[in-house]
Chains A and B, each alone.
Chain A
Amino acid sequence: MDAAQALRELAELSSQIETAVVLDADGSVLASTHEDPARAAALASSTLELVGAAFELNAQPQEVMRVEVELEDAALFVLRDGGRTIAATTGSQPTSGLVVYDLRTCLQRITEPEQKKKRKTIRKVKEDTE
């Protein structure tokens, strides 16, 4: 599924998520709920900075899969899967399990077709070599 379409569905599905952005493996913005590209870029930049800071917190170098920061009046969630990153902001006291589930589902919807394509390509290569 297209990243923009997946984000639109996420926004419709989740009443808690206020804004969200999807980043590609190289950190570029794939899709955003922000109409203003500058705001999307700013959220993307903060997301990458947050992942970097979370990476430095661990004594052993480990890839960061999830970051949640809940503050007085809002929260920021970052989830990574299959090389892609999704970040979302919510209001205060979100149901974090539900938000994370929605974000993971959104990322999987974006990733799935590419994995299927890869499987098809591998199958085709095998058939060609036989």
Chain B
Amino acid sequence: MRKLIRLAVLVGLAIWAWRRFAGPSGPQQRAGVSYADGSSIVLEPGSAGFERLASIARAALRQ
């Protein structure tokens, strides 16, 4: 039983350390579009599509 608790604590610490040091830092940026036919696309920063949508959104959010 003690070994099990120790293992659970170690796993918890490992997950926390992974998220803290190796996980994504800062707020995540992304864009998504859904269409009438049920299809959808997710655009990541750096892609031309994302930059196009982001520039329009930035202008809208500044107002």
Contacts and interface: CB of A to CB of B under 8 A. Distances in A.
Interface string A6-34: 00000000000000000000000000000
B58 interface: yes
B28 interface: yes
Contacts of B34: 64-67
A112 B48 CA distance: 38
B33 A64 contact: yes
A94 to B, nearest CB: 11
Contacts of B17: none
B35 A70 contact: no
A85 interface: no
Interface in A31-82: 39, 42-43, 46-47, 49-50, 53-54, 57-58, 60, 62-76
B41 A76 contact: no
A36 to B, nearest CB: 10
B31 A62 contact: no
B27 A73 contact: yes
B28 A67 contact: no
A65 B25 CA distance: 31
Interface in B36-61: 36-37, 39-41, 43, 49, 52-54, 56-61
A93 interface: yes
Contact of B30 (A39, A60, A70): A70
Interface of A: 39, 42-43, 46-47, 49-50, 53-54, 57-58, 60, 62-76, 87, 89, 92-93
21 contacts: A42-B60, A42-B63, A43-B60, A43-B63, A46-B59, A49-B56, A53-B52, A54-B53, A57-B43, A57-B49, A57-B53, A58-B33, A64-B34, A67-B32, A70-B31, A71-B57, A74-B61, A75-B57, A76-B57, A89-B60, A92-B27
